[in-house]
Amino acid sequence: MKPIAECMLCESGTEKDLDSSNTVSEVKYDGTRVWAGKKEGEAFVINRNNVDYTDRLTDVTEALEGIPSEDVIFDGEAVVYENGRTVFEYSQRRCSTQSQSKQAVYQLKYPIIVETFDIVHLDGKDLRNYTWQSRRQLLDDLLEESLQRSIRPSRVAYGEDKRRMFDEAIARGEEGVILKALHSPYIGKRSRLWLKVKKWYQELCRVVGYTEGTGKRDNLFGSLILAKPDDSGRLVYCGKVGSGFNDSEVRHIAGLLKAGETEAGLVTVRDASGKPIMYTPVDIPLEVTVKFFESSKAGIFRFPSMMKDDQERNLIHYNSSTIKASPGQQTGLKKLLEGLSRR
């Protein structure tokens, strides 16, 4: 089944947006976005890319059968809770597993709840042009009447409670909150009618290599390979960052990287699945400050990007007194550093 609408998506907001009197807030869950509902009485669950999860999330489809409507489409997030917070890896295991034997085990180990935050279709009527307030009232009435465990209305905060919800969500380890305009229709695209407000962390990281650049960055670099010291002081891989640099920074940094290439890498670099990442190692004292949402259990940053100062300049650091280069490279490297400092 295909959804009747494209998903509503968020623009980025800031904590100042929490003070608006024209919005409500909902927790930004760390799960899998889904359409869930019933068509001609038959329950379904699909993701935003039309991948069918109906047979994988049987606990949800059973709950949908108890909804007092034969024709309804909800928008929500399929989540798994651990110690009061949602864990993305667990919802992904439930949604991606096609093995029936594993599904049975995972259903007990990772019970799914669809935190339902919108309704776009009900009993033959398209609700997308209704205001958020009107849609939300219909959603609450329908789900509260059904009293299902695996699908429920998401929590909503108003006024000063929005700030409290944000603080509590961050304290639990959630991403943040979504702010929604009270008057907003469901327009099915990214807009400032919905704003995501996250709490970001920052870290100073050593640049220990780079991936190959393509297109406009051919012969320059794609992403910087980052590392930070662990508790014993040993450098460990923590992620990579490739966006947020202007053309001048890319050229200067690429020159530093080329001059500092080495055969032996300082860290072992693997992706989330454990597969080695191909990169060129460097040994230069170049550091960058990055912001990120959280670290995975393996210590890898999620959603890393360059941290900027008040003048929107990337925070790039170097220590020229400790650079180790052969005599033939020293002059060129010094000029590169000087160029970087004048950007």
Per residue in 18-58, pLDDT tens? 999 999 999 999 999 999 999 999 999 999 999 999 999 99
Residue of 256, 276, 278 lying closest to 330 (CA atoms)? 256
Q: Tell me, yes or no, whether 137 and 58 share the same domain.
A: yes
d(CA 81, CA 87): 6
Confidence at residue 324, expressed as pLDDT on a 0 to 100 scale: 35
Confidence at residue 338, expressed as pLDDT on a 0 to 100 scale: 54
Residue of 82, 137, 128 lying closest to 297 (CA atoms)? 82
Q: Residue 1 domain-assigned? A: no
Residue of 317, 256, 248, 253 lying closest to 289 (CA atoms)? 317
Q: Tell me, yes or no, whether 21 and 57 share the same domain.
A: yes
Residue 16 DSSP symbol: G
Q: Residue 109 domain-assigned? A: yes
Please, which residues have CB within 8 angstroms of residue 62's CB and are 6 or more apart in sequence?
43, 150
Q: Tell me, yes or no, whether 187 and 299 share the same domain.
A: no
Residue of 271, 276, 207, 201 lying closest to 242 (CA atoms)? 207
The mean pLDDT of 62-83, rounded to a whole number, is 95
Residue 60 reports pLDDT greater than 80: yes
Cβ contact 135:119 at 8 Å: yes
Residue 97: left if φ>0, alpha if ψ -120 to 50, beta else—which one?
Answer: beta
Q: Which residues pair with 82 in a beta bridge?
A: 85
d(CA 197, CA 327): 50
Q: Which of residues 175, 198, 221 is at a domain's end?
A: 198
**Angle, in degrees to the nearest 10, between helices 327-341 and 247-259:** 160
Question: Which pair of structure tokens corresponds to residue 312?
Answer: 């929107």
Sign of CA dihedral 183, 187, 193, 199: positive
Q: Residue 3 domain-assigned? A: no
Q: Tell me, yes or no, whether 212 and 227 share the same domain.
A: yes
Expressed as residue numbers, the domain containing 331 is: 201-341
Confidence at residue 23, expressed as pLDDT on a 0 to 100 scale: 98
Q: What is the CATH number of the domain that holds 86?
A: 3.30.470.30
Q: Tell me, yes or no, whether 211 and 182 share the same domain.
A: no
pLDDT, tens digit, 9 for 90 and up, residues 283-317: 988 888 888 877 777 788 877 888 766 656 667 77
Residue 40: left if φ>0, alpha if ψ -120 to 50, beta else—which one?
Answer: left
d(CA 113, CA 76): 10
Confidence at residue 35, expressed as pLDDT on a 0 to 100 scale: 97
- The Cβ of residue 97 has, within 10 Å, a number of other Cβ atoms equal to 16
Q: Residue 329 domain-assigned? A: yes
The mean pLDDT of 253-270, rounded to a whole number, is 89
pLDDT, tens digit, 9 for 90 and up, residues 159-190: 999 999 999 998 898 889 999 999 999 999 99
Q: Which of residues 164, 198, 232 is at a domain's end?
A: 198
- The Cβ of residue 143 has, within 10 Å, a number of other Cβ atoms equal to 21
Q: Residue 130 domain-assigned? A: yes
Question: Which pair of structure tokens corresponds to residue 48?
Answer: 């935003």
Q: Tell me, yes or no, whether 154 and 274 share the same domain.
A: no
Q: Residue 98 domain-assigned? A: yes
Q: Tell me, yes or no, whether 113 and 230 share the same domain.
A: no
d(CA 242, CA 210): 9
Cβ contact 29:174 at 8 Å: yes
Which of helix, strand or coil describes residue 137?
helix
Q: Tell me, yes or no, whether 39 and 151 share the same domain.
A: yes
Q: Residue 100 domain-assigned? A: yes
Q: Which residues pair with 81 in a beta bridge?
A: 86
Q: Which of residues 198, 219, 249 is at a domain's end?
A: 198
Q: What is the CATH number of the domain that holds 265?
A: 2.40.50.140
Strand segments, DSSP code E, in 283-336 are 286-292, 294-295, 301-302, 305-306, 316-318
Q: Tell me, yes or no, whether 170 and 29 share the same domain.
A: yes
Count: domains in the chain: 2
Report yes or no on whether pTM surpasses 0.85. no
Q: Tell me, yes or no, whether 242 and 126 share the same domain.
A: no
Cβ contact 224:210 at 8 Å: yes
Q: Residue 171 domain-assigned? A: yes
Q: Tell me, yes or no, whether 48 and 193 share the same domain.
A: yes
Q: Tell me, yes or no, whether 206 and 194 share the same domain.
A: no
Residue 14 reports pLDDT greater than 60: yes
Q: Which residues pair with 116 in a beta bridge?
A: 76, 153
Sign of CA dihedral 90, 79, 127, 8: negative
